[in-house]
Amino acid sequence: MNKVNWDDILKNIFLKENLEHLRDLIGTSADFIMDVFIQNENNQIFWLKNEDPSFFKSIFLYSTDEFLNDLHAKESNKVDEYETVIDDRSFLYLKDVNENVSDIGDIVEIIREGKYIKNYSNKDLETIKKFKLIVKLYSNELNDFLLGIQYLTASKIFKDKRILALTARKIQPLKEQFYLIPKNSFDYMVVGDTVLIRNLTYFERDFGFYKKYEEAKDEVIEEIKREENLFGKDIKLKSIDYFSEKIKGKPSYLKRFYKVIKKGNYKKFEFSKVKEIIDDFNLKVKLDEGNKCIDLGEETSIKDFLQLYDELYYISDLSGNRMVASENSPYQQ
């Protein structure tokens, strides 16, 4: 393998060529130290004796191949960034893990500083109902380690002895062994300060990452109220508390709302033009024309309202069809 600058590669692991370098290193080098851990519901991390390092190496390879295959299918040279995605997606990346995802940052710190639990009773593991399987792959050439993380339930533990044996570390002879059935790929891989996300839904569920959008939503709602519910050049909102409650805990709605606020184009919206689009596309958005208000109560579709303010409805200059930009398909009434 030609000499490569691993510092630069790890900083930009979301680029296809860098993923290929990493994949080649994992596939061809014997210069690896593998450690296996599980994290329980209380965020305690337990070290496990790993009797089959090659097994986990194959999961790292499979996971990297999945990202590369996705890039090949998209004819893209870069993994999509988490911040640009609204709907459920696969194969994304997010930078600045320590700052953006404190739970993953905590895992990295505990493992890097050796603060995990090595001496414990088998009974400490028997009560675990759901857990994260964490695999650390250290390379001298990288002078750093990668982490692969899977979210597993109790149904994946204590089964099928031929696949993998993991034992609690104890001084006296062990009478029992614990067995895991890992998935074929990691849900997340931590490379440097970047997390590679295989599935957006699982990521947001496991780490509650959408909470930052929840906090932003609350701040914006309060600001709208201070501005006498103005949400456009001359448009006011009704039932804003109902709207706030309806999008609570719903990542796709929260991110769409966040995107609308971040773009800021809504400040130029005029009631007459908004009404025209609502009528043209037969959107389920209730209007109070006399007061130039949008009523966000039960009669309004949250999805229609958010896509309206995200400027996703338009008429094609080429075909004359009414289109929804996010779907790139003719709008169906």
State how far the Cα of 194 lies from the Cα of 8, in Å rounded to an integer. Answer: 12
**Mutual angle of helices 302-309 and 271-280, in 10-degree steps:** 120
The pLDDT score that the predictor gives to residue 99 is 82
The pLDDT score that the predictor gives to residue 304 is 95
Which residues does 129 contact at the CB level (< 8 Å), separation at least 6?
A: 41, 153, 154
First and final C-alpha spacing in the chain = 57
Q: b vs e for 211-221, b when ≥16 Cβ sit within 10 Å of the residue's Cβ?
A: eebbebbeebb
Report residue 64 as tokens: 């990297």
The pLDDT score that the predictor gives to residue 13 is 96
Q: Which residues pair with 50 in a beta bridge?
A: 166
Report residue 161 as tokens: 């002895």
Secondary-structure percent of the chain, ordered helix, strand, coil, rounded to 5:
40, 25, 35
* Helix ranges, the chain (H): 6-11, 16-28, 53-74, 97-100, 102-112, 123-126, 200-207, 211-226, 240-247, 251-263, 271-280, 302-309
The pLDDT score that the predictor gives to residue 283 is 96
Q: Which residue has the tokens 């002078």?
A: 143
Handedness of CA 99, 105, 110, 113 (dihedral sign): negative
CA distances, 40 to each of 46, 125, 129, 178, 205 (Å): 8, 8, 8, 15, 16
Q: Which residues of the chain have pLDDT under 70?
A: 1-3, 84-88, 122, 126, 154-180, 326-333
Handedness of CA 187, 190, 193, 196 (dihedral sign): negative
State how far the Cα of 233 lies from the Cα of 264, in Å rounded to an integer. Answer: 11
Handedness of CA 195, 200, 188, 16 (dihedral sign): negative
Q: Do residues 134 and 36 make contact, with C-beta atoms less than 8 angstroms apart?
A: yes
State how beta strands 194-199 and 188-191 pair.
antiparallel
Single-letter code of the amino acid located at 322: R
State how far the Cα of 276 lies from the Cα of 308, in Å rounded to an integer. Answer: 11
DSSP per position, 47-73: EEEES-HHHHHHHHHHHHHHHHHHHHH
CA distances, 66 to each of 186, 188, 196, 229 (Å): 10, 12, 11, 46
Whole-prediction pTM: 0.71
